Structure 1
Amino acid sequence: MIISAQEILDGARRQTGNKTVAVAMANDASVLQAVVEAENDGLIHAILVGDAAEMREISHDGGFSLDGMEIIDEKDPKKGCELAVGLAADGKAQFLMKGFVKTAVLLKALLSRPELKARDVMSHVAVVDIPGRDRLLFFTDGGMIPKPNSGQKEAICRNMVDLADALEVSPFRFGFLAPYADEESPEHEEICKRLGDLGENLHPLPSVTAEYAFRQLDGLVATVIEECNTIIKGLTLYTDTIFSGLIMGATVPVCLVSRSDSATNKKASLALGVLYAGGGRR
């Protein structure tokens, strides 16, 4: 069982296959530098899709080299995303990373390939290493679905469990965020019952407080996107929490990083993609 961000990074370094990421429109300074550093560190192998001339200009200005990097030159964002997704569809890449392109453009290219479809719902799963905790916390969904309905909530739970499986977290205990521990939620109780097909090592709870989750659980499900975003942003701004995350729901995950992410957070997200690629999917 992987219990820390350091173990995510170490696991990615040890993994010998399924380490190729296709970066859609890699001509973004923060993304490009993170990818180059991660490749030099042995975490990944990258295929850079995007404006090659701009990439070389970025690397020159940033003082790092693209020597030896695999580059596919494409200036058009739509075509660049289609090329990156095509690499995944052909088995030449095991996960994707968003560069200088809107998330919707990349996801549209991904959803256009039925062979890459896993579920009808895609969601973001954050994996955070919080100081003082003895294990990682999985938190969803802070990036895709503003206010999920019952079916979407079930799907985002399954996406989160897929990622927990890849990190060998078992048993996996999680709950739906609520203001009170004894708050009744027939909807969440029914979802928990439907998740029973995932096995006896899964322990979902219909209502949990944030305090209980931070102290006792492995995962937390937000009922609206703002809950997840607020908590994660507070942790990363004011503590030494290490953040990583993936968009789940397709056969290949999508790695997202922001310009404000630390170098460690960016590497952790890339390493998380490697571990999921190596761990398979339900």
Structure 2
Amino acid sequence: MIKNLAELIKQAKTQMKMKLAVAAAQDHDVLMAVKEAQELGIIEGILVGDEEEIKTIAKEISMDLSKFEVINKADLMEAALKAVSLVSSGAADFVMKGIIDTSILLKAVLDKEVGLRTDRLLSHVMVYELEAYHKLLFLTDGGMNIQPSLEEKKGILMNAVLSAKALGNKEVKVACLAAKEKVSEKMPSTVDGAELKNLAGEGAFGDGVMVEGPIAFDLAVSKEAAEIKGYKSSVAGEADIILVPTIEVGNGVGKALTYMAHGKSAGIIMGAKAPVVLVSRADTAETKLYSIALGSVVAANK
């Protein structure tokens, strides 16, 4: 079980090397992260995008492009389709967003001819390393699904479970976030949380998956809070995955962990045939590197 992002990097370095296709690769921080990932032995890289801009940035950061395949596609949609098609054809193992809108990349991912669509829902999974927590914390979905239905939450939860298991978690403890632990028809998150817990008890999410819900954030991550409140659950203070009820909650919790708790993080989209490394333009090169490592490990263990 990988307990921190340094161990994630180590796993990515020691496993079989994955091949990464970057869509619209002409971005300083993206190329910095890809350069470091290549130097660490994590990936082989295919850079799809504006070749002249890629060369200019590579020169600025002392990146040896002879170690990469560069495919000239200046048009953003063409770059996205080419990068995705490299994965669907088996020429690459996973894909990464460069300097391109998420909507353009996802349109390529869902393309009927060259895309990576499956019958599963696409969802965003963030992984956080926090000084105040004893293991990695997965958060989903603060990036894609706005107000998911119960059926959609089942898919989001399954995607997060698969990512956690890819990182070596034989047991996966899931907290279905709500404002309180009592089920109330006035709060759909409590109803859905209880139903997801019941489904997990029936084995809907596979062996070793324990789901608690509804449950508030403090009880999910703090044994002390659970003890004070007399709350008993195997998930209390031990959550691996925080399943949020809406995108606003996931976005807010995630940014609080980043900017207030100074958490380190990695992020990918799950549900396609291969992981999609999706990072914000505001993310650091370090976050992008961790995200590449996450995508690599998940791709190797899908």
The equivalences for 1:1-282 within 5 A come to 1-17=1-17, 19-113=18-112, 116-184=116-184, 185-195=190-200, 196-215=203-222, 216=237, 217-280=239-302
> Distance between the aligned counterparts of 1:174 and 1:150, measured in 2?
15
Q: Deviations over 1:170-221 (max 9, x none)?
A: 2111121111233443333223333422334111112111112223211111
Residue 256 of structure 1 deviates from its aligned partner by: 1.6
> Distance between the aligned counterparts of 1:240 and 1:100, measured in 2?
25
Residue 222 of structure 1 deviates from its aligned partner by: 0.8
> Distance between the aligned counterparts of 1:258 and 1:65, measured in 2?
25
> Distance between the aligned counterparts of 1:51 and 1:257, measured in 2?
20
The aligned amino acid for 1:132 is A
Asked whether the 8 Å contact 1:129–1:241 carries over to 2, the reply is: yes
Gap runs ≥5 in structure 2: 185-189, 223-236
Q: Deviations over 1:70-128 (max 9, x none)?
A: 11111111111111111101111111100111111111111114773333421100111
Gap runs ≥5 in structure 1: none
Asked whether the 8 Å contact 2:125–2:268 carries over to 1, the reply is: yes
> Distance between the aligned counterparts of 1:54 and 1:200, measured in 2?
48
The aligned amino acid for 2:265 is F
Asked whether the 8 Å contact 1:24–1:50 carries over to 2, the reply is: yes
Residue 63 of structure 1 deviates from its aligned partner by: 4.2
Residue 230 of structure 1 deviates from its aligned partner by: 1.3
> Distance between the aligned counterparts of 2:161 and 2:112, measured in 1?
24
Asked whether the 8 Å contact 2:76–2:100 carries over to 1, the reply is: yes
Asked whether the 8 Å contact 1:137–1:214 carries over to 2, the reply is: no
Q: Deviations over 1:206-251 (max 9, x none)?
A: 2111112223211111111111111211221133311011011111
| CA gap 1:192/1:119 in 2 versus in 1, 3 angstroms | farther
Q: SS state of the match for residue 192, structure 2?
A: helix
Q: SS state of the match for residue 174, structure 2?
A: strand
Residue 4 of structure 1 deviates from its aligned partner by: 0.9
TM-score, normalized by length of structure 1? 0.93
Asked whether the 8 Å contact 1:116–1:251 carries over to 2, the reply is: yes
The CA RMSD measured in Å over matched residues stands at 1.7
The aligned amino acid for 2:22 is V
The aligned amino acid for 2:148 is P
> Distance between the aligned counterparts of 2:196 and 2:74, measured in 1?
44
Q: Deviations over 1:245-276 (max 9, x none)?
A: 10111111110222332332221110000110
Asked whether the 8 Å contact 1:89–1:113 carries over to 2, the reply is: no
The aligned amino acid for 1:52 is E
Bigger mean CA offset, 77-86 vs 208-217:
208-217
TM-score, normalized by length of structure 2? 0.87
Asked whether the 8 Å contact 1:119–1:155 carries over to 2, the reply is: no
The aligned amino acid for 1:278 is A
How many corresponding residue pairs? 279
